[in-house]
Amino acid sequence: LFEAVELAPRDPILGLNEQYNADERTGKVNLGVGVYYDDQGRVPLLKCVHQAEVDRVQAAGAHSYLPIEGLASLNKAARELLLGKDSEANTSGRAFTVQALGGTGALKIGADYLKQLLPNAKVAISAPSWENHRALFERAGFDVVEYAYYDPQSHGLNLDGMLASLKALPDSSIVVLHACCHNPTGVDPTPAQWQQIADTIKEKNHISFLDIAYQGFGDGLVEDAAAVRMFVQMGLTCLISTSFSKSFSLYGERIGALTVVTSSADEAKRVLSQVKRVIRTNYSNPPTFGGAVVAEVLNSEKLFALWDAELAQMRSRIKEMRDQLVSKLQAAGVAQNFDFVLTQKGMFSYSGLTASQVDRLREEHGIYAVSSGRICVAALNSQNIDGVVDAIASVLKK
C-alpha cells in the first residue's frame, strides 16, 4: 500500500519551527512562526485566560460532548464581537456562528460547505497570502487563483491591481480576504480602500470569505472588525473565520469560530443545518475546555475588560518593537528606508529581505525568518532586538 508514497513537502512556516528547534546555537531567534511572545520571549498565559481556567476547574464540570455547533454562549459572544451586539445582522438572526477548531478549522468547514454549493467557483486569495489558504481551498477541491495585493515598490497596497483582478474574476467567485493585520505583509487597506473593494465585490456578486485571525492586534477589537462590519452592513453574503489562537494566546486549544451571514433568519436556519452536517462528518463536535474559557472571558464584563487591556499591552509592545526596529536599523547605518514597517499592522512585517538574505540570517546568525522576507515583529524583544538589527544590517551591507 505505502511503497510508492512520496515524502510530502514541509509546511514552509511550521517546517521552519522544526529547524529552529533542532538548532543548538545559543542566541538563536525565531522570527518565523506567527506567535506573540512577551518581552521575556515567552508565549504568555493571559491573566483573563488563567482566571477563566481556574474558575472552570473549580466548578468541577464534567467533560461531556458539546453540541455539533459548539458552545452556544461562545458562538453568540464571538458573533457579537465580530458584528457588534446591536447590528441588524445579529439581531435579525440572519447571521449564525459555529465553534471551530481554530481559524484553520473555520476556514476548512466553510470551504467544504462552499464546495457543495458552488462546486465550480474559483477561489481567489491575495498575492501573497498565508500559505495555508491556497492549500486548504485546493484540498477542498477548488481551483485557487490570486488577486493582486502587495506592491513591493511602495511596500503598500496595489489597490488598482486588486480591483482589476477582482473585476477580471468570473462573477460569483469566492474571494478570501484578510479582514485585518494581513498575513504575511502587514499591509491593510484603509477604510476608503475597503469601500472600493466591497463595491467591486458587490458589483461582481462575489462571495466574501473574510479571515480574521488577529482581531485586536491592529488598532483595537472594534477597529479591527470595521471591514467585516462594512461588508455585512452592505448586505454582502459573507463567511467569516475567526481565530482566538493569537488574541487569547490559546494556540493549542484550537478555538475559533465560523460566522455565516445570510439574507434572512430562515435562510440562516437552513444553512446552519448543512454546516452542521459538514462538522458532524469531520470531527463531530468541538473541544469543551478552551471553548468554555473563551466563552467565560467574552461573557464576563470584568474578564472582558481585563482581556481588552491585555490585548492593548500586546499591541503596544509590537508597536514599540516596530519603532525600535526602524530607529535601530537607521542608527546601524543601513541605506534602505524602513519607515514602511511603522505603518504595517499586526504581528508581521514584510521586511523586503530577499530569500538569500533570509538564508544568511539563519546560517550566519541563527535568526529564522520566512523565505519571503516575512518577519514576526511580535517575536522581537528588548533582549534580542540589538542582535537582530546587527544581523540584518550585516546581511544588507554585503
Interaction of residue 291 with ligand PLP, rule CB under 6 A: no
Q: Is 13 in the site for ligand TYF (CB under 6 A)?
A: yes
| Residues 71-130 within binding reach of ligand PLP (CB under 6 A) | 102-104, 130
Smallest Cα–Cα separation from 126: which of 97, 155, 162? 162
Considering the complex, state which of residue 35 and residue 159 has its C-beta at the smaller distance from ligand TYF: 35
> C-beta of 14: minimal distance to ligand TYF in Å?
5
Q: Is 14 in the site for ligand TYF (CB under 6 A)?
A: yes
Is the CB of residue 256 less than 8 Å from the CB of residue 107?
no
Q: What angle do CA 365, 347, 95 make, to 5 degrees?
A: 150
**Binding-residue pattern over the window 23 to 42 for ligand TYF, x denoting contact by CB under 6 A:** ----------xx--------
Told to check if 132 binds ligand TYF by CB under 6 A, we report: yes
Q: Which does 66 bind (CB under 5 to 8 A by kind): ligand TYF, ligand PLP, none?
A: none
Q: Does 178 bind ligand PLP (CB under 6 A)?
A: yes
| The entry of ligand PLP, ligand TYF, none that residue 145 binds, CB within 5 to 8 Å by partner kind | none
Q: Residue 364 corresponds to which cell in the numbers above?
A: 550566519
Query: Which residue in the set 30, 185, 208, 245 belongs to the binding site for ligand PLP (CB under 6 A)?
Result: 245
Binding track, positions 125-164, relative to ligand PLP; x by CB under 6 A:
-----x----------------------------------
Query: What is the nearest approach in angstroms of ligand TYF to the Cβ of residue 301?
Result: 31
CA-based max dimension of the chain: 64
Burial of 339 (0-12, 13-18, 19+ CB in 10 A): exposed
Contact 175, 201 (CB under 8 A): yes
> Of 381, 397, 391, 385, which is closest to residue 333 (Cα–Cα)?
397
Cell of residue 179, nine digits: 479582514
State the burial class of residue 6 (Cβ atoms within 10 Å of its Cβ: 0-12, 13-18, 19+).
exposed
Residue 256 binds: one of ligand PLP, ligand TYF, none (C-beta under 5 to 8 A by kind): ligand PLP
Residue found under cell 434572512? 264
Query: Of 12 and 67, which has the nearer Cβ to ligand TYF?
Result: 12
Q: Active-site residues: which are they? A: 130, 211, 246
CB 256 to ligand TYF: min, Å: 12
CB of 191 to ligand PLP, least distance (A): 20
Q: Can you say whether residue 228 is alpha, beta or left, with left for phi > 0 and alpha for psi between -120 and 50 degrees?
A: alpha
CA distance 398 to 387: 17
Interface residues with ligand PLP (CB under 6 A)? 34, 102-104, 130, 178, 183, 211, 213, 243, 245, 256
